[in-house]
Amino acid sequence: MTLELKPLHPVFAAEASGLDLTRPITRADACAINAAMNRYAVLVWRGQPLTAEQQIRFATTFGPLDIGLKRVFKRPERLEDERLIDISNVGMDGAVQKPDSPKNLSNFANQLWHSDSSFMNPRAAYSMLHALVLPSWGGETQFADLRAAYDALDARTRAIVEPLSAEHYALHTRILLGDDAYTDEQKKLMPPAVWPIVDTHPGSGRKVLFVGVHARQIIGMSTAESRLLMSDLIEHATERERVYTHRWEVGDLVIWDNRATLHRGRRFDLGERRELRRTTINDTPEAMLAVA
């Protein structure tokens, strides 16, 4: 079987088929997936009923796994393997959580435009989200292409942002959402990471506008100017023509490159179950070379 690709959007994102991801893939297939990721940045696979083990095996083909904020929160979770990230509104008891639960706070934070783990160094390369149970309404995931966002900048803004870097902080979105009761110990566990706003995407050699809600401060600017510029850049990056909306079906696996895209979840009825499972790869030098 060989990888087949069907573009889903004029700018980026493709539907991928022709491989069975529940089985180990060959090095040649992994290389083909990497090449497709470098072109499309988001790949949608339909009908891939992966077990937890199969999803972990597939993900680790591409590099070491990243568990993001789990290091800080250390909450008991119902998923069978701690390398999996539970993107759901369901608790340890198997019940849908209350709207004001910590679980839903994470879901709300995921509804703001972000790049996974941009507050860490190394940051995240690929994330892979697999749909298990879906609500009857809403809950789509949207993606925006940051290479197209850079290309579409006007010359003046391009010159302004070129030398700038931003500090990305793990708890910034939580604090924005009114959740600020963190211990000093928790805060220390997550020192901010600094990334250039104009960066080069390693896989395609194209420039990216690396913005998102984890960016709490542009270095060397007043907080007010920094916040306004950042929100303006996020608005630009997520203009409709640069956004692909994924409408989930059970058994989908969507892979995206966090170094080239932003994403956000969309609203859904919090009383209904929504259960997805994520694996994320750290952007370490060996990660993508492992299959090059």
Site for ligand OGA, rule CB under 6 A: 87, 110, 116, 127, 129, 141, 263, 265, 276, 278
Q: How far is the CB of 18 from ligand OGA (least distance, A)?
A: 25
Contacts from 233-238 at CB under 8 Å and sequence distance 24+?
233/149, 233/157, 233/161, 233/197, 233/209, 234/113, 234/262, 236/149, 236/152, 236/153, 236/157, 236/209, 237/113, 237/144, 237/146, 237/149, 237/209, 237/211, 237/262, 238/113, 238/142, 238/144, 238/149, 238/262
Interacting partner of 69 out of Mn ion, ligand OGA, none (Cβ under 5 to 8 A depending on kind): none
Interacting partner of 270 out of Mn ion, ligand OGA, none (Cβ under 5 to 8 A depending on kind): none
Interacting partner of 87 out of Mn ion, ligand OGA, none (Cβ under 5 to 8 A depending on kind): ligand OGA
Write the CA distances from 78 to 84, 92, 151, 209, 270, integer angstroms.
10, 5, 42, 36, 19
Interacting partner of 129 out of ligand OGA, Mn ion, none (Cβ under 5 to 8 A depending on kind): ligand OGA
Beta carbon nearer to ligand OGA, 91 or 265: 265
Beta carbon nearer to ligand OGA, 23 or 247: 247
Beta carbon nearer to Mn ion, 19 or 168: 168
Beta carbon nearer to Mn ion, 29 or 86: 86
Interacting partner of 25 out of ligand OGA, Mn ion, none (Cβ under 5 to 8 A depending on kind): none
Exposed/middle/buried for 238, CB within 10 Å: 0-12, 13-18, 19+? buried
Q: How far is the CB of 260 from ligand OGA (least distance, A)?
A: 15
Q: Please report, as residue ranges, which positions from 102 to 161 form the binding site for Mn ion (by CB under 5 A).
A: 116
Rounded to the nearest angstrom, the gap between the alpha carbon of residue 157 and the centroid of all alpha carbons in its chain is 25
Interacting partner of 203 out of Mn ion, ligand OGA, none (Cβ under 5 to 8 A depending on kind): none
Please report how many Cα atoms fall inside a 13 Å half-sphere around the Cα of residue 177, on the Cβ side: 20
Asked if residue 257 binds Mn ion (CB under 5 A), the reply is no
Beta carbon nearer to ligand OGA, 27 or 267: 267
Is the peptide bond preceding residue 24 cis, with omega within 30 degrees of 0?
Answer: no
277 - beta bridge partners?
A: 86, 130
Beta carbon nearer to ligand OGA, 123 or 278: 278
Which residues of this chain interact with Mn ion, rule CB under 5 A?
116
